[in-house]
Amino acid sequence: MNTKELAEKIVTKGLKSGADEAEVYLESGREFELSVRNGDVETVKQASPKGLGLRIFKDKKLGFTYTSDFSDQALEEFIKKTIQLAQVADPKPWNGLADLENGEAKDLELFDPSIAEIPNEKKIEIARETERIALSSDKRITKTEGGFFGDSETEVVIVNSKGLSLSNKSTGISFGVYVIAGEGDDMQGGGWSSSKRYAKDLDAVENVAKIAAERAVRMLGARPVETQKAPVVFDRYAAGAFWYGILFAIDGDSVYKKTTFLTDYLDKPIASELVTLVDDPTIPRHVSSQPFDGEGTLTRKNVLIDKGVLKVFLYDSLTARKAGVKVNTIARRYGYKSAPSAGFLNIIVQNGDADRQKLISGIKNGFYITGLRGIGTDTPTGTYSCGASGFWIKDGEIAFPVDGVTLGGNALDLLKNIEAAANDLDLRGMLSTPSFKISEMTIGGKR
Amino acid sequence: MKSIFKPISRRNFLKAGLKGGAIAATLPVWRLFSFAEPPADFYVNPAVNLSRETLEMLLKAALGHGGEFAEVYVEYTVTNRISLEEDKIYGAGRGVDMGVGIRVLHGEKTGYAYSDDFSLDKLKQTADVAGLIAAAKDIRQPVGLKPSSIPSYYMVKVSPDTIIPEDKAKLLWKANSVGRAYDKRINQVNVGFVDINKKITIANSEGIWAEDFQTITRLAVSIDAIEGEKRSSGYYYKDGTLGYEHYDPKLAEELAREAGRMAIAMLPAEDAPAGEYPIVMAKGHCGTFFHEAIGHSLESDGIRKKTSCFWDKKGEMIASEITSLADDGTVKGARGSVNVDDEGTPGQNTILIENGKCVNFLYDRLNAKLMKANLTGNGRRQSYQHYPIPRMTNTYLLAGKDDPEEILKSVKKGMYIARIGGGNVSWVTGRFVFDVSEGYMIENGKITKPLKGIQLMGSGPEVLKNIVMVGPDLEIKGGGTCGKDGQAKPVSDGNPTLKVSKITIGGARV
């Protein structure tokens, strides 16, 4: 199947059937995943899925449909139905496709042809070995949820009636393990993984296994502390959720509707000067890089918070036109089943210059947070509240593991109270941050 | 991590609930030897109607490498959505998912492959790939397929897929106008109607052949209020395995009023204090707590792998004597109800905790077989792209005997949890966290000021022992979409008024 030709055909047919504008977003590819447990293969799953989403604008009204049924008759019906659905909506002057831009999509080195050549035996071996090392690396590791391996190949095609026609092929490969330490009433789980675009960029099996085991073992005996106010250090691998809460609150359309606590903060300081936060989906070979976004707009690096000052709200082309702002739009798609919406693609909080160990050793009585439960920030009010685990710091030393406590505060106060950022940034996933210290937070626990 | 999805800007839309909720006390009416049929005018691509011969051929091909058990799952799903925001119909959408998933079991091993291409060659190849998990010399033959009898727990007379979007829009407009008129501090009203229409066929090598047609509908209203610097939100919804006849403008009006009431009530909310407090949970709106804090740890996969905190607790007292918990896939019209689960097992009512004692777990076919336990109808999957795993359906705390007024009066200083929002749990430690979307202070037995930013934190095993009072007023209202191992699945839950003697509250002040 030539996916681009199919997408072009649907767009042409859409216009012929009465649409003013049409856009097809088509995904196809293959996926493979396997898991092992106690050395035996437990699951193997493979498939070659496909699907497409169709956006139609008719008289400034929007219709959106998706299907995994590509038969001729079904597609014919599908196009008609989408146009009918558009008629139901109310017209909005800002409805329409993104403007067509000049320039070409960059090759971000997102496709590794060698992944398709990896034999299944090798994949099983990686998962098995990761689990074996994790299980044997510490006596206190007692059980396993298993080792896993997965790889995928995806082609994204986006074609629209303004003449846009883009495609991108990418690969993904990952493996990891989740093990359990302890027995009886004191069990703790810990997992780790490595996820890359290129097979040869994967972390060493041994490192991934040992980190997973360490993450389980170190939490044995975790207990709550008493309710108090204390300084905290957010670990780089735990702080992602904290930033998500802030990012959701700078959605441009929520600002337009005045439903976020950051509505009035454009070009104003919202955080300590140590905070610079960018969206950069253009880093070669990175798992969260992509050459164009969900509307087919070429991606670029955008600074969202600069030395504590909020520089932009997040818009896609529709919400930007609605708000009457000229900004670099960032439209995200969660697969072909969703229409594009304003968002972010690859968030990086810039490194500070402090040593993480020194952040900890400078605290007399405080909390080193290595796990968060929940997003934390309530968008309308900015109230921050979530569950946390980690380690209690006493006289600059890690004293004992902590679990079953909550963190509370006001998101703006917390951002402003970031008094040090570490230099330990590690680019992983779609949000990377260094560890950082907040001068004081409410910790809810016993009494 | 397993979690009830906490959608971000559209949080209130994904949380869905069921109003009313009397539990079906009578036995279901069994429609012997008939499939649950889609409505006559529901278009199904004829390609998905695989013949008995094709299904049997695929099962045979899947067992071709020596597998012990094979299963074919065929799905055709149509999802319709329409939403209103900012006084405008935002848009209407429709989606079609169709595909075949083939699973082969061999000992503890699962081979799974799926295809959205229905050509015979492609399906055969999919069966073969799934079968590769086994490498045994002894080739089994599938048992001839026999159509299964299907019970009926859905309440569907009028298929929502047959209703034109213009009609659904009338519900949205009604909720919008009522919501906006509720109070002048109301700033935004969002309304959405979604219906999922799913035809599934399950055929397995033990001769099970079941078809089901599932309809899930939801009307949800979310309202934002603003007054000076203060902001708040409220929401309400009706949903379930319900036909369109359950929705009318009067209902839309009720939902909008309740969402408006909550938004306005929470507008003056103050920061919650952190620390340990007793809590009272309102009937019907806090069942998610039991789904999350306890239910997940009673799913058989974690029990078999000994990774759940309850893995060795069967027959033991794990809760106070007044605590009984059920997972019931047979609640008439509830969001999590199933005529058959996604492995063809009829929905069941399973008591998990009886007067404090752990008496059962939730099983899918694989874990039931390996653990030599009876099936409970909890083998569920998100779609043909996923293999089934043990999942909850409608989970609720059973009614007790304490007077709801006395329950409230018994608390000197604590919190009243009127509505629970999203939450998540680690099934290993049983530790959970929930946010509370509507909560109040209790002072001297009376509900006083509204509080914002309340988090409930604790561990399942601990909290079960601290359930000290349970009212007789069970309601199954709350429901939503539960996520586990990357699979989203509709569920609902319920609870009577109850008191937990001590729980950690997260808040912004000490």
What letters, b where the CB count within 10 A reaches 16 and e where it falls short, cover A266-289? Answer: beebbbbebbbbbbbbbeeebbbb
- Name the pLDDT band for B4 (thresholds 50, 70, 90): very low
Using DSSP bridges, classify how beta strands A397-410 and A436-444 pair: parallel, antiparallel or unpaired.
antiparallel
Whether pLDDT at A35 is above 90: yes
Cβ distance of B96 and A69 shorter than 8 Å: yes
Per CATH, the homologous superfamily of domain A3-217 is PmbA/TldD superfamily (3.30.2290.10)
Q: Dihedrals φ, ψ of B140, to 5°?
A: -90, 155
In a domain, B23, yes or no: no
Whether pLDDT at B404 is above 60: yes
Q: Look at residue B26 in the predicted model and tell me its pLDDT.
A: 26
Whether pLDDT at B23 is above 50: no
Q: Of the candidates B266, B284, B304, which is a domain's last residue?
A: B266
Does residue A181 contact residue A219 with C-beta atoms inside 8 Å?
Answer: yes
Do B154 and B56 belong to one domain?
yes
In a domain, B10, yes or no: no
| pLDDT tens string A185-237 | 789 999 999 999 999 999 999 999 999 999 999 999 999 999 999 999 999 99
Q: Look at residue B38 in the predicted model and tell me its pLDDT.
A: 65
Does residue B457 contact residue B430 with C-beta atoms inside 8 Å?
Answer: no
In a domain, B21, yes or no: no
Instruction: Provide Rg for chain A, Cα atoms.
Output: 24
Do B360 and B282 belong to one domain?
yes
Q: Residue B307: name the closest of A144, A218, A216, A185 by CA.
A: A144
Question: Which residues fall within 8 angstroms of residue A117, CB to CB, at 6 or more apart?
Answer: none
| Nearest chain A alpha carbon to B485 | A145
More confident residue, A96 or A374: A96
Interface test with B, best of A56, A62, A68 (most B CBs within 10 A): A68
Q: Of the candidates B225, B241, B266, which is a domain's last residue?
A: B266
Domain ranges of chain A: 3-217, 222-447
Give the separation between CA B347 and CA B338, rounded to whole angstroms: 5
Token couple for B68: 């012990």
Token couple for A377: 């920030």
Cβ distance of B165 and A85 shorter than 8 Å: yes
Token couple for B226: 């603003």
Question: For residue B246, what is the DSSP state?
Answer: G
Name the minimum distance, in Å, from the CA of A164 to any CA of chain B. Answer: 23
| Nearest chain A alpha carbon to B269 | A381
In a domain, B349, yes or no: yes
In a domain, B105, yes or no: yes
Residues of chain A positioned with their CB less than 8 A from the CB of B161: none
Give the separation between CA B145 and CA B128, rounded to whole angstroms: 20
Do B247 and B313 belong to one domain?
no
Interface test with B, best of A45, A67, A76, A402 (most B CBs within 10 A): A45
Residues of chain A positioned with their CB less than 8 A from the CB of B424: 373-374
Nearest to A381 among B8, B97, B452 (CB): B452
Task: State how far the alpha carbon of A118 is from the alpha carbons of A43, A174, A375, B412, B499, in Å.
Answer: 18, 13, 38, 65, 56
Query: What number of other Cβ atoms are within 10 A of residue B349's Cβ?
Result: 16
Do B197 and B275 belong to one domain?
no
Residues of chain B positioned with their CB less than 8 A from the CB of A66: 93, 95-96
Q: Which helix (H) or strand (E) holds A228?
A: strand A228-234
Give the separation between CA B407 and CA B282, rounded to whole angstroms: 11
Amino acid in position A127: A
Do B329 and B389 belong to one domain?
yes
Cβ distance of A63 and B98 shorter than 8 Å: no
Q: Which domain holds residue B130?
A: 31-266
Do B499 and B421 belong to one domain?
yes
Do B250 and B292 belong to one domain?
no
Q: Look at residue B32 in the predicted model and tell me its pLDDT.
A: 33
Do B53 and B69 belong to one domain?
yes
Using DSSP bridges, classify how beta strands A436-444 and A418-421 pair: parallel, antiparallel or unpaired.
antiparallel
Residues of chain B positioned with their CB less than 8 A from the CB of A27: none
Backbone conformation region of residue B451, classed left if phi is above 0, alpha if psi is from -120 to 50, else beta: beta
In a domain, B4, yes or no: no
Q: Look at residue B39 in the predicted model and tell me its pLDDT.
A: 67
Does residue A298 contact residue A99 with C-beta atoms inside 8 Å?
Answer: no
| Nearest chain B alpha carbon to A180 | B307
Angle, CA A114 vertex, CA A113 and CA A120 arms, to 5°: 125
Give the separation between CA B81 and CA B15, rounded to whole angstroms: 15
Whether pLDDT at A112 is above 90: yes
Does residue B497 contact residue B404 with C-beta atoms inside 8 Å?
Answer: yes
Q: Residue B163: name the closest of B92, B266, B264, B234 by CA.
A: B92
Do B157 and B189 belong to one domain?
yes
Cβ distance of A374 and B8 shorter than 8 Å: no
Q: Which helix (H) or strand (E) holds A406?
A: strand A397-410
Question: For residue B7, what is the DSSP state?
Answer: -
Which residue matches tokens 């299980």?
Answer: A135
| Nearest chain A alpha carbon to B105 | A43
Name the minimum distance, in Å, from the CA of B477 to any CA of chain A. Answer: 23
Token couple for A54: 């169709």
Cβ distance of B275 and A63 shorter than 8 Å: no
Give the separation between CA B274 and CA B78, rounded to whole angstroms: 46
Number of domains in chain B: 2
Q: Residue A373: name the closest of A358, A390, A348, A360 by CA.
A: A390
Name the minimum distance, in Å, from the CA of A154 to any CA of chain B. Answer: 16
Which residue matches tokens 């006849």?
Answer: B245
Bridge partner residues of A442 (DSSP) = A229, A408
Which residue matches tokens 């609930």?
Answer: B17
| pLDDT tens string A261-290 | 999 999 999 999 999 999 999 999 999 999
More confident residue, B221 or B39: B221
Does residue A433 contact residue A239 with C-beta atoms inside 8 Å?
Answer: yes
Which residue matches tokens 């009066």?
Answer: B409
Q: Of the candidates B251, B266, B281, which is a domain's last residue?
A: B266
Check which CATH number belongs to the domain holding B192 and give it: 3.30.2290.10
Cβ distance of B96 and A66 shorter than 8 Å: yes
Instruction: Provide Rg for chain B, Cα atoms.
Output: 23
Average pLDDT over residues A426-443: 96
Average pLDDT over residues B139-164: 92
Give the separation between CA B442 and CA B277, rounded to whole angstroms: 10
Give the separation between CA B168 and CA B194, rounded to whole angstroms: 10
Name the minimum distance, in Å, from the CA of B21 to any CA of chain A. Answer: 29
Instruction: Work out the mean pLDDT of chain B and round it to a whole number.
Output: 90
Do B321 and B410 belong to one domain?
yes
Does residue B380 contact residue B314 with C-beta atoms inside 8 Å?
Answer: no
Does residue B82 contact residue B165 with C-beta atoms inside 8 Å?
Answer: yes
Q: Look at residue B37 in the predicted model and tell me its pLDDT.
A: 62
Do B358 and B466 belong to one domain?
yes
Give the separation between CA A224 and CA A406, rounded to whole angstroms: 9
| Strand, helix or coil for residue B267 | coil
Global confidence as pTM: 0.91
| pLDDT tens string B236-282 | 999 999 999 999 999 999 999 999 999 999 999 999 998 999 999 99
Backbone conformation region of residue A390, classed left if phi is above 0, alpha if psi is from -120 to 50, else beta: left
Determine the longest span between alpha carbons in chain B, in angstroms. 75
Does residue A434 contact residue A358 with C-beta atoms inside 8 Å?
Answer: no
Backbone conformation region of residue B490, classed left if phi is above 0, alpha if psi is from -120 to 50, else beta: beta
Cβ distance of B428 and A187 shorter than 8 Å: yes
- Which ipTM value was assigned to this complex? 0.89
CA torsion, points A404, A405, A407, A408, in degrees to nearest 10?
120
Cβ distance of A385 and B187 shorter than 8 Å: no
Cβ distance of A43 and B387 shorter than 8 Å: yes
Whether pLDDT at A257 is above 70: yes
Do B88 and B159 belong to one domain?
yes
| Nearest chain A alpha carbon to B8 | A248
In total, the C-beta contacts within 8 angstroms joining chain A to chain B are 258
Q: Which helix (H) or strand (E) holds B389?
A: strand B389-390
Q: Look at residue B19 in the predicted model and tell me its pLDDT.
A: 21
Q: Look at residue B78 in the predicted model and tell me its pLDDT.
A: 95
- Name the pLDDT band for B321 (thresholds 50, 70, 90): very high
Task: State how far the alpha carbon of B408 is from the alpha carbons of A44, B404, B405, B442, in Å.
Answer: 52, 6, 5, 8
Share of chain B above pLDDT 90, in %: 79
Task: Transcribe B342-366 into DSSP letters.
Answer: TTSPBP-EEEEEETTEE---B--HH
| pLDDT tens string A44-73 | 999 999 999 999 999 999 999 999 999 888
